[in-house]
Amino acid sequence: MSNPAVTDPTTPPPGAPAASSPPASYPARPAPERPPVARPSTAPVIVKLTPPFSVRLSQLCWILSFAVGAFAIVYMFVIRETQLPLMADVVRGVAEGRSDETYETAADIIFWSVFGTLVAVLLTQVTLLVSFMSRKPHVRWWQLGTLLLQVIVVLLASEVVAIGERGEPLLPVLAGQCGLVVLALLISALPRAIAWSARRHDVRHGADSPTLGDF
């Protein structure tokens, strides 16, 4: 018997349709666009940004004034016993013919009035600084009001309390505190600080809004 003929595997069998030849080349298709990183339609988001340099410098001046004011209050309390007789002599020079107890009582009242006012002004300024950094409206006017009251108290202290050998160093300290407050108010009135306060909130809009990939 003769062996069957060996056929070429690449040759199609008889009666089969001829295979179409592949095209010589395919047309180049453009690459798909990358999805946008940010969505312009994203709702505004309230963010917490670092305040401008003028605001932070004003805050620093306020903090320094608090430190100086606290030192003045403590020093004033320490020299109280020394200052009361001197203060009684000042009162005696204004109104003569009264008993010594009256002068001592008047000196004690004046001392505690000045001392208490300085403490109240300091605490009020601390509270107002917190409100200022929170961008509450009209805070600068209240801070200016505390400065005016502070100046009046310092002038009174210079005539009645800051006298004598131990009382004289108190006046430059109180004046330095007022100077720091003035500087803080002037810096907080710079244009960038005013704009920062007027904005009330830092808002990020549209394309600047964070996406899920930013968290």
Give the range of the structural domain holding residue 63, as residue numbers without chain letter: 51-204
Domain for residue 46, yes or no? no
What is the Cβ-side half-sphere exposure of residue 182, based on CA atoms within 13 angstroms?
A: 10
**How high does pLDDT run on average in the chain?**
80
Q: Is residue 117 part of a domain?
A: yes
Question: What is the number of structural domains in the chain?
Answer: 1
**pLDDT at residue 161 is higher than 50:** yes
Phi and psi at residue 22, to the nearest 5°: -65, 150
- At 2 the pLDDT is 47
Averaged pLDDT for residues 103-107? 88
Which of 44 and 63 is assigned the larger pLDDT?
Answer: 63
Per the domain annotation, does 167 fall within a domain?
Answer: yes
Q: What does the alpha-carbon distance between residue 9 and residue 134 come to, in Å, rounded to a whole number?
A: 85
On the question of pLDDT at 166 being above 80, the answer is yes
pLDDT for 197 equals 83
Q: Is residue 8, in this structure, part of any structural domain at all?
A: no
Percent of the chain with pLDDT over 90: 46
pLDDT at 209: 45
Strand-pairing partners, residue 204, are 45
Is 190 inside any structural domain?
Answer: yes
Has residue 134 been placed in a domain? yes
Whether 117 shows a pLDDT value over 90: the answer reads yes
Looking at residue 207, what is its pLDDT? 47
Q: What is the pLDDT of residues 119-147, one digit of tens each?
A: 999 999 999 999 999 888 899 999 999 99
Q: Which residues of 30-66 are buried (b: 16+ CB within 10 A; e: fewer)?
A: eeeeeeeeeeeeeeeeeeeeebeebbebbbebbebbb
Q: Residue 146 in contact with residue 62, Cβ under 8 Å?
A: no
CB 105 within 8 A of CB 213: no
Would residue 168 count as lying in a domain? Answer: yes
Tokens of 58: 């004003």
For the chain, the helix, strand and coil percentages under 3-state DSSP, each to the nearest 5: 65, 5, 35
Q: Is the pTM of this model over 0.75?
A: no
Please name every residue paired with 27 in a beta bridge, in sequence order, or none if there are none.
none
For residues 137 and 141, give the distance between their C-alpha atoms in angstroms, rounded to a whole number: 9
Q: What is the pLDDT of residue 149?
A: 95
Q: Is the pLDDT of residue 12 over 90?
A: no
pLDDT of amino acid 8: 53
Q: Is residue 213 part of a domain?
A: no
